[in-house]
């Protein structure tokens, strides 16, 4: 009995499944990396208050390249606005 067609079909299907999962993992890794960058930037920024969970904050870049976290919104301040973040209950920051 010739099972060449069966093997070819099976291999093609497995190949598609594995490639799809690989692409999902790559996207997941990119998301984690982006999250790590955001958290590092926020935690390394300058601020003189203790952020509260669930509050929205804004990250700005200073003229010297350092970063400042602030409650002041981008329309209220002339500093170079990067993005807004929210502090999660697990102490991670999410870009919004």
Both tokens assigned to 27? 């996207």
Provide the token pair at 39: 């958290």
Query: What pTM was estimated for this model as a whole?
Result: 0.81
What does the pLDDT average to over 6-30?
A: 97
Give the residue among 64, 62, 96, 56 at the shortest CA–CA distance from 77. 62
Band the pLDDT of 1: cuts 50, 70, 90.
confident
Check residue 79 and give its pLDDT.
93
| Mean pLDDT, residues 75-83 taken together | 95
**What would the mean pLDDT of 50-59 be, rounded to a whole number?**
98
DSSP line for 36-68: HHHHHHHHHSB-SS---TT-EEEEEE-TTS-EE
């Amino acid at each position: 009995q010739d099972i060449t067609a069966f093997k070819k079909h099976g291999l093609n299907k497995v190949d598609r499944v594995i490639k799809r999962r690989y692409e999902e993992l790559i996207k997941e890794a990119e998301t984690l990396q982006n999250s790590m960058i955001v958290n590092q930037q926020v935690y390394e920024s300058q601020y003189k208050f203790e952020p509260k969970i669930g509050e929205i904050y804004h990250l700005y870049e200073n003229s010297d390249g350092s970063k400042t976290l602030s409650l002041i919104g981008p329309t209220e301040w002339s500093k170079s606005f990067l993005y807004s973040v929210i502090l999660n209950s697990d102490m991670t920051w999410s870009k919004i």
